[in-house]
Structure 1
């Protein structure tokens, strides 16, 4: 009785496992980048508020600016991934 060859399945599973980890890492990096930009915006807004007055407004502006930068970074990462997947 001959043993069936499983090398094709094993190779496909290994490739799928790698792509799952790559996707997981990418999503994690996007989330961390967004959170870091938002927190940096909070601290920048706090610093500006302490120097310029009207702290609440500057904190809000800083957080919103941080969120915009975080979304822009996420869009950049997603665009790069889409270009790489098209190649």
Structure 2
């Protein structure tokens, strides 16, 4: 009997896509918060917020890439 690959499960794929979205949103929001806090204390609020959002978004994309890579390498 042929064993089904765990990556073929559509629910697992749906969970992965949802987790990627949540990861990017969380990292972007964290970047906004860090940028806002830093801008309040060091001045130039808008620049720090923009920088924080961009760094947070980049971190979210990077962690999403790592999660997808791990998902695709996962062999039963």
Q: TM-score, normalised by structure 2?
A: 0.86
Unaligned runs of 5+ in 2: none
Count of residues in correspondence between the two structures: 71
- What SS class does the counterpart of residue 74 from structure 2 fall into? helix
Max radius of gyration: which structure?
Answer: 1
More helix by share: 1
Distance in 1, matches of 2:12 and 2:44, equals: 44
Q: CA RMSD in A?
A: 1.8
Q: Which residue of 2 aligns with 1:8?
A: none
Query: Structure 1 stretches (4+) deviating beyond 4 angstroms?
Result: none
**Unaligned 5+ runs, structure 1:** 1-11
- The higher-RCO structure (CA 8 Å, 6+ apart) is 2
Residue among 18, 22, 27 paired with 1:32: 22
TM-score (norm 1): 0.76
Partner of 2:9, secondary structure, is helix
Shift of 1:43: 0.6
Q: Deviations for 1:3-60, whole angstroms, at most 9, x for unmatched residues? A: xxxxxxxxx8xx8xx7110000000000000000000000100000000000000000
